[in-house]
Chain A
Amino acid sequence: QKEVEQDPGPLSVPEGAIVSLNCTYSNSAFQYFMWYRQYSRKGPELLMYTYSSGNKEDGRFTAQVDKSSKYISLFIRDSQPSDSATYLCAMTWVGAAGNKLTFGGGTRVLVKP
Chain B
Amino acid sequence: DVKVTQSSRYLVKRTGEKVFLECVQDMDHENMFWYRQDPGLGLRLIYFSYDVKMKEKGDIPEGYSVSREKKERFSLILESASTNQTSMYLCASSLFTLRYNEQFFGPGTRLTVL
Q: Which residues of A contact B (CB under 8 A)?
A: 6, 8, 31-32, 34, 41-46, 49, 51, 88, 92, 94-95, 97-101, 103-106
Closest-CB distance, B65 to chain A (whole angstroms): 17
Please state if B98 and A95 are interface contacts (CB–CB under 8 Å).
yes
Interface string of B35-49 (1 = CB under 8 A from A): 100001111110011
Q: A44-B43, A44-B105 are in contact. Are A100 and B33 (CB under 8 A)?
A: yes
Please state if A8 and B40 are interface contacts (CB–CB under 8 Å).
yes
Q: A44-B105, A88-B43, A103-B42 are in contact. Are A98 and B33 (CB under 8 A)?
A: yes
Beyond A51-B100, A99-B97, A100-B31, 16 extra complex contacts between A and B, CB < 8 Å: A32-B99, A41-B107, A42-B108, A43-B106, A46-B102, A49-B100, A88-B42, A92-B100, A98-B33, A98-B49, A98-B50, A99-B96, A99-B101, A100-B33, A100-B48, A105-B41
Q: Which residues of B contact A (CB under 8 A)?
A: 4, 31, 33, 35, 40-45, 48-50, 56, 58, 90, 92, 94, 96-103, 105-108
A35 CA / B108 CA spacing, docked (Å) = 19
Q: A98-B48, A100-B48 are in contact. Are A43 and B4 (CB under 8 A)?
A: yes
B50 and chain A: residue at smallest CB distance: A98
Please state if B48 and A105 are interface contacts (CB–CB under 8 Å).
no
Which one, B41, B90, B94, B96, contacts A43 given CB within 8 A? Answer: B90
Please state if B100 and A98 are interface contacts (CB–CB under 8 Å).
no
A94 CA / B107 CA spacing, docked (Å) = 27
